[in-house]
Amino acid sequence: MEAKWKLYHHQEILRRMDTILLFSGGMDSLVSAGLLLEKSPEKVVTCVFFDYDQHTAEIEWKRSQQCIAHFPPERITLIRRRLTDYKEYVKGVSIVGGGHIPTKDEDPEGYFVPGRNIIFLLYAAILGYGHGCREIAYSPHKWVHAGDCLPEFREAITQAFHWGFSMERKTDPWLVWSPIGHLGKDEVVKEGTRLGLPLHLSWSCHDALEEQCGVCHNCDERQLAYRLAEIPDPTPYLNPPDVRRIHYRTGGLS
Ligand SMILES: [Zn+2]
């Protein structure tokens, strides 16, 4: 799979690299970045954005840059990575190959991109290996049940890196983890709000419109999380939140 690193802050990437964080421009990766910087004031975080021909790539990239601009530039940097032929491998995935974006009332199967997190984490690990970095973070939370978002997966791929980057049985311990793995999405909203992060700039939507659609599964989850957190949702949606549906799903919170 041909690919080249596109370095946006060349000097920064050549300096110390302590933690690599997969960054999509979404709320989850934004809150992960905030928590990483808060909990480890001595660490430098390198965020990696992947363009794999997802049709929201340019929106996500723009929002990623805006989100990262919130943080001190000496603590965090952002680079973009392009997987040039990824879509040739993942047929039938609507958010990569095009096609209908399922609404919140339709089967979300078309969203699942097989192998995505394995490939992203592996490339991040290769980058980290060359810079002495053995800590890779990404941002699944407790509401996500895809296999590559579960604690068991993180333990397994940590072990895979331990052996996969071993030289004659000599290796450093790896850590693949999620800074928000212990949180529900509503708690992610609360943490992002507590940290004063620009959550309104983060992009959740599966569609590539001028604003977030308000009717896809990700928009639905975002709206539900704000409602459960009892925090006003500042996100501009093309379609207003379905208050009755959210009311039902939150057990009558009003
Ligand atoms: Zn949407």
Which residues lie at CB < 5 A from ion ligand 1?
Answer: 205, 213, 216, 219
Query: Domain map of the chain by residue range?
Result: 2-197
Mean pLDDT calculated for residue range 207-225: 92
Find the 56 Cα to ligand 1 centroid distance in Å.
11
Residue 49 has pLDDT above 90, yes or no: yes
Find the 84 Cα to ligand 1 centroid distance in Å.
25
pTM of the model: 0.88
Q: How far is residue 240's CA from residue 2's CA, in Å, rounded to a whole number?
A: 41
Instruction: Please write the tens of the pLDDT for every residue from 92-133.
Output: 777 776 667 777 777 766 677 888 999 999 999 999 998 999
CB 97 within 8 A of CB 229: no
- Token pair for 135: 């800590």
Find the 212 Cα to ligand 1 centroid distance in Å.
5
Residue 64 CB coordination number (10 Å): 24
Find the 238 Cα to ligand 1 centroid distance in Å.
9
Find the 143 Cα to ligand 1 centroid distance in Å.
17
Instruction: Please write the tens of the pLDDT for every residue from 173-191.
Output: 899 999 999 999 999 999 9
Residue 39 CB coordination number (10 Å): 9
Top pLDDT among 88 and 64 is at: 64
Tokens 């800590």 locate to 135
Q: How far is residue 211's CA from residue 205's CA, in Å, rounded to a whole number?
A: 9
CB 68 within 8 A of CB 33: yes
Find the 115 Cα to ligand 1 centroid distance in Å.
23
Find the 54 Cα to ligand 1 centroid distance in Å.
14
CATH class of this structure's domain 2-197: alpha beta
Instruction: Please write the tens of the pLDDT for every residue from 142-159.
Output: 998 899 999 999 999 999
Find the 102 Cα to ligand 1 centroid distance in Å.
9
Residue 4 has pLDDT above 50, yes or no: no
